[in-house]
Structure 1
Amino acid sequence: MTGKGEAAIDLEAEYNNRARVPDHQAVMLRWRAAAAAARAAHPPLEIAYGPGEREVMDLFPAGDDAPVAVFLHGGYWQALDRSWFSGLAPALLAHGVSLAIPCYDLAPAVRLGQILRQVRAATDTVRARTGVRPVVFGHSAGGHMAACMLSEGRASAAVALSGIFDLAPLIPTSLNVALRLDEAEAAALSPVHWPVPDGSTPGGTVLDCLVGGDESPEFLRQSRMMADLWGARGVETRYEALPGLNHFTVLDPLFDVDSGVVERIAALAKAG
């Protein structure tokens, strides 16, 4: 709980999405089924971006010269892997955009700073293969890392779905048992405090902050805060709460070739 001089916020309830969405397992099983079908129809290339067992990515190629989008998965930096999200590939492939989905090591085996180093290496590997910075999009923890890649000039644009841009509210929650964040580390690794991409250095200056309209007030606040803050500092930002979607179903538009979210990511990838 937090709050001084105002109603306290139950941060555990706000940020523990599996507890908040009772049918999250059913949604995740749909991800699994879609992933299996996608891998059968479009077998990916497996590309190592580092020496570690999890330092690999799946690449679903749309063609030799196709632009590439990089998807960074969620799971609070402590769960899931690339195999859950292969089902995102068909919609982007239909738009002529290749999709790369990297794995990374998970907390508590590694700290968040190490995970960010791995995501940097994966993103740079995609750029080395194509010669251009990719558009990077991610969900939840992946939305956090997508914004980080944009801040560092590694992405041509970023789309964050239900991102967490200020890590401090996670400190008193059960989610921090594995992450082991203290106040200093949380501040240092929160992109809300990082330099904005301003065009003076290479990289993109577009950040979309999307969130499910049915998500917790804290997730809605985080996305709006990030869009407003970076927008006021010159970044081309968009904020949108997608009606009727929660923290898990917010990925539903990514499976739909005709959705506005897929069309937006494809357009950013081609522009980059």
Structure 2
Amino acid sequence: MTGKSEAAIDAEAEYNNRARVPDHPAVMAMWRETAQAARAARPPVEIAYGKGEREVMDLFDAGRDAPVVVFLHGGYWQALDRSWFSGIAPAFLAHGVSLAVPSYDLAPTVRLGRILGQVRGAVETVRARTGARPVVFGHSAGGHMSACMLSEGRASAAVAISGLFDLRPLVSTSLNAALDLDEREAAALSPVFWPTPNGSTPGGTILDCIVGGDESSEFLRQSRMMADHWGASGVETRYEALPGLNHFTVLDPLFDADSGTTHRLVALSRESGGNAC
């Protein structure tokens, strides 16, 4: 199921995306600039989903009874927050879809299991507000957590963009300095080993695994592996490698209201009312 062994790859080179993409600061600067513009044009509603300082989400509200999609940001569970990604809101608002973007605590202040608990709280807050399980999508670490939410029956569908589904290869890398995972905990927190959602359990059974075509062989493998494994277990999966995009530019389609990725998320969100509480 997991393909190449960790011993056969240079895990540091495969998983350290900032080192792999030298111009990532320019892409991240674009995220920041578009976020500031979107927040100025249409300030979000801040919703606390817990008592912690970072247990807050931004809601870009498209109006009464609008479907809601939840975006989980990346940063290897140790960087960034909700304010970086407000720039994707206009594309969804243009389709009458609301966007929720939660922050969460970061490693090494908290462990990954605690972060997953916070994301559960954020998703459940949206569900309580709308009466339906939302579509959950995310990038990198957020892709991992999106799959976790689908496995647990909290999402009507999940779209994982450049997701991590088997965390064991991270254990030997510098990225693990903050996460402090051992092999056992990494496996326990890997959704590829979690129960697959199916028609006999609450929640959705759709998982899209999207990855940039120019990403490392390991990121391509992880998405293909997850789609194949859950697909073989009855989940409606879809794998797509977007040509010419790397681990950072893979988010570019989310800034475009007419992109295939945006249209896919909008369509899934409009179907999510069938997964009401």
Same fold judged by TM-score > 0.5?
A: yes
For the residues of structure 1 that align with 2:175 and 2:37, how far apart are their CA atoms? 32
> Deviation at 1:121?
0.2
For the residues of structure 2 that align with 1:126 and 1:84, how far apart are their CA atoms? 20
Which deviations, in whole Å up to 9, do the C-alpha atoms of 1:252-272 show, x marking residues without a partner? 000000000000000000100
Query: Does 1:145 find its partner at 2:145?
Result: yes
1:231 maps to: 231
Listed as ranges, the gaps of 5+ residues in structure 1 are: none
SS in 1 for 2:241: strand
For the residues of structure 1 that align with 2:72 and 2:60, how far apart are their CA atoms? 14
1:175 maps to: 175
> Deviation at 1:247?
0.1
1:70 maps to: 70
Instruction: Provide closer, same or farther for how the CA distance between residues 256 and 4 of structure 1 changes in structure 2, counting only shifts above 3 A.
Output: closer
2:110 maps to: 110
> Deviation at 1:41?
1.1
Q: How does 1:1-272 map to 2 (within 5 A)?
A: 8-272=8-272
> Deviation at 1:4?
9.7
Instruction: Provide closer, same or farther for how the CA distance between residues 4 and 36 of structure 1 changes in structure 2, counting only shifts above 3 A.
Output: closer
> Deviation at 1:8?
2.9
For the residues of structure 2 that align with 1:109 and 1:6, how far apart are their CA atoms? 28
> Deviation at 1:5?
9.5
Indicate the larger mover: 4-13 or 174-183.
Answer: 4-13
The share of aligned pairs that are identical, in percent, is 81
Which deviations, in whole Å up to 9, do the C-alpha atoms of 1:93-150 show, x marking residues without a partner? 1111100000000000000000000000000000000000000000000000000000
Instruction: Provide closer, same or farther for how the CA distance between residues 62 and 6 of structure 1 changes in structure 2, counting only shifts above 3 A.
Output: closer
AA aligned opposite 1:226 = M
For the residues of structure 2 that align with 1:269 and 1:242, how far apart are their CA atoms? 22
Instruction: Provide closer, same or farther for how the CA distance between residues 6 and 211 of structure 1 changes in structure 2, counting only shifts above 3 A.
Output: closer
> Deviation at 1:64?
1.1
> Deviation at 1:191?
0.1
For the residues of structure 2 that align with 1:32 and 1:183, how far apart are their CA atoms? 35
For the residues of structure 2 that align with 1:225 and 1:8, how far apart are their CA atoms? 17
For the residues of structure 1 that align with 2:54 and 2:30, how far apart are their CA atoms? 24
Count of residue correspondences: 270
Instruction: Provide closer, same or farther for how the CA distance between residues 4 and 195 of structure 1 changes in structure 2, counting only shifts above 3 A.
Output: closer
AA aligned opposite 1:249 = T
Query: Could you tell me whether the CA contact under 8 Å between 2:6 and 2:169 is conserved in 1?
Result: no
For the residues of structure 2 that align with 1:61 and 1:263, how far apart are their CA atoms? 18
SS in 2 for 1:164: coil
Listed as ranges, the gaps of 5+ residues in structure 2 are: 273-277
SS in 2 for 1:171: helix
Query: Could you tell me whether the CA contact under 8 Å between 2:57 and 2:100 is conserved in 1?
Result: yes
Instruction: Provide closer, same or farther for how the CA distance between residues 96 and 109 of structure 1 changes in structure 2, counting only shifts above 3 A.
Output: same
For the residues of structure 2 that align with 1:251 and 1:268, how far apart are their CA atoms? 18
For the residues of structure 2 that align with 1:58 and 1:5, how far apart are their CA atoms? 40
AA aligned opposite 1:137 = F
2:275 maps to: none
> Deviation at 1:24?
0.2
SS in 2 for 1:105: coil
SS in 1 for 2:172: coil
For the residues of structure 1 that align with 2:123 and 2:65, how far apart are their CA atoms? 17
> Deviation at 1:201?
1.3
For the residues of structure 2 that align with 1:216 and 1:261, how far apart are their CA atoms? 21
For the residues of structure 2 that align with 1:8 and 1:209, how far apart are their CA atoms? 24
Which deviations, in whole Å up to 9, do the C-alpha atoms of 1:194-234 show, x marking residues without a partner? 00000111100000000000000000000000000000000
